[in-house]
């Protein structure tokens, strides 16, 4: 097993070892103690003379994990019964998830030497739990539109038999509307998966914002706009009506699609969503603004968090991922994003740094 992995901060070990003999005397720890120190499990040479004393010192750090570990180590010493335990391990630096294994081996002289291996699996465990939660959430959310589609299909068959074109059209409209909901939902989860796993690459190029990004997305969202009697208006605040910006087209489209969808979903019916592009010395600044109830300052701070939906939006459906995905994508390319809400208008404004 490798003793180190590469991270954004360089090479950092993901495991920590403690060795002891058949009498329980501690022989030493990992040559690089940085992980042990970070988790609060590093040996203290002045105090940790025997393995049980070392484990007793860890008892203050986490629920029942040290006690379970102590029992398994006792069996390891008496019967050479190897083990693997895992659990959440709390420290002052936060919660960690550890896999801890114990084994007995004979050294070159034939003496038994015992090893405890602490493997920090926090990142993978958190990611797995996130995807498990996402799966449960997606499964729950997809049931409703899928049930509507299946029901509308059955009704459509009845109207076809009765030769009622008006009834068939109503059913088709329902099927289309719910299929769009499902497609948007799936797209948000796929985007989240790409962002969280780090599988996002940027290929900046010259982009005519309205022609290359905004107009195609507006056409894509036309059914949602028509359903609420809304429209989208674009304004370039500057000397050029069609400024060319440098950006990754796909990443920019992800942000605009999420912000526009949000503006339509929570905006007042029969109003206009304004999209404004301003050029500053630091690069383009794009705002998406809708009309509707003001969002309290206390809630504005939570808007970009994962799986957060505001208290004032009970009637609207969603997983609370759109704004989170937009924020993560903007931050990925080094920009900033903020929300403002006053006088019946709410705006989401983000920047695109230009190298």
Query: Quick one: 195 and 216 in the same domain?
Result: no
Query: Quick one: 100 and 248 in the same domain?
Result: no
Query: Quick one: 106 and 235 in the same domain?
Result: no
Query: Quick one: 195 and 263 in the same domain?
Result: no
Choice among 1-10, 32-41, 255-264 with the minimum mean pLDDT: 1-10
Residue 50 is given by DSSP the state B
* Domain termination residue (choose one: 61, 85, 120): 120
* Domain termination residue (choose one: 89, 120, 151): 120
pLDDT tens sequence across 21-61: 999 999 998 877 777 877 778 888 888 999 998 988 876 55
Gyration radius of the chain's alpha carbons: 28
* Domain termination residue (choose one: 120, 153, 187): 120
Query: Quick one: 170 and 262 in the same domain?
Result: no
Q: How far apart are CA 228 and CA 267, in angstroms?
A: 9
Burial class from Cβ neighbours inside 10 Å (0-12, 13-18, 19+) for residue 110 reads exposed
* Confidence check: pLDDT of 137 > 70: no
| Positive or negative torsion for Cα 242, 243, 244, 248 | negative
pLDDT tens sequence across 270-282: 999 999 999 888 7
Using alpha carbons, list the distances in angstroms from residue 312 to 75, 293, 300, 309: 57, 9, 12, 9
- Provide the 3-class DSSP secondary structure of residue 230: coil
Average pLDDT estimate for 229-240: 86
Query: Quick one: 214 and 320 in the same domain?
Result: yes
> What is the number of domains present in the chain?
3
pTM for this model (two decimals): 0.55
Q: How confident is the model at residue 170 (pLDDT cuts 50, 70, 90)?
A: confident
Query: Quick one: 206 and 307 in the same domain?
Result: yes
Q: How confident is the model at residue 218 (pLDDT cuts 50, 70, 90)?
A: very high
CATH of the domain at 75: 3.30.450.20
Host domain of residue 177: 122-199
Query: Quick one: 166 and 51 in the same domain?
Result: no
Neighbours of 201 (CB within 10 A): 10
Q: How far apart are CA 178 and CA 224, in angstroms?
A: 11
Q: Which pLDDT score, from 0 to 100, does residue 68 have?
A: 84
């Amino acid at each position: 097993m490798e003793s180190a992995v590469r991270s954004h901060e360089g090479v950092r070990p993901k495991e920590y070892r403690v060795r002891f003999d058949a009498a329980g005397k501690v022989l030493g720890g990992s040559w690089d103690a940085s992980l042990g120190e970070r988790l609060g499990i590093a040996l203290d040479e002045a105090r940790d003379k025997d393995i049980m004393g070392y484990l007793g010192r860890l008892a203050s750090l986490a629920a029942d994990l040290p006690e379970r570990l102590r029992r398994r180590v006792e069996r390891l010493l008496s019967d050479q019964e190897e083990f693997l335990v895992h659990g959440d391990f709390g420290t002052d630096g936060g919660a960690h998830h550890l896999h801890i294994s114990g084994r007995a081996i004979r050294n070159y002289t034939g003496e038994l030497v015992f090893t405890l291996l602490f493997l920090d699996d926090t990142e993978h465990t958190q990611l797995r739990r996130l995807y498990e939660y996402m799966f449960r959430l997606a499964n729950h959310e997809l049931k409703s539109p899928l049930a509507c589609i299946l029901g509308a299909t059955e009704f459509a068959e009845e109207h076809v038999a009765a030769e009622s074109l008006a009834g068939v059209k109503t059913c088709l409209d329902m099927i289309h509307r719910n299929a769009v909901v499902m497609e948007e939902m799936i797209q948000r989860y796929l985007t989240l998966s790409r962002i969280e796993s780090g599988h996002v690459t940027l290929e900046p190029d010259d982009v005519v914002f309205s022609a290359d990004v905004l107009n195609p997305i507006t056409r894509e969202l036309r059914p949602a706009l028509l359903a609420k009697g809304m429209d989208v208006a674009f304004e370039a605040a500057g000397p050029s009506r069609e400024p060319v910006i440098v950006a990754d087209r796909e990443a920019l489209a992800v942000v605009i699609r999420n912000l526009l969808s949000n503006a339509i979903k929570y905006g007042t019916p029969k109003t206009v969503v304004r999209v404004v592009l301003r050029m500053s010395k630091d690069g383009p600044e794009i705002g998406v603004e809708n009309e509707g109830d003001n969002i309290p300052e206390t809630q504005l701070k939570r808007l970009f968090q994962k799986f957060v939906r505001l208290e004032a939006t009970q009637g609207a459906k969603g997983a609370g991922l759109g704004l989170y995905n937009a924020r993560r994508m903007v931050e990925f390319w080094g920009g900033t994003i903020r929300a403002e809400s006053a006088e019946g208008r709410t705006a989401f404004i983000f920047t695109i740094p230009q190298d």
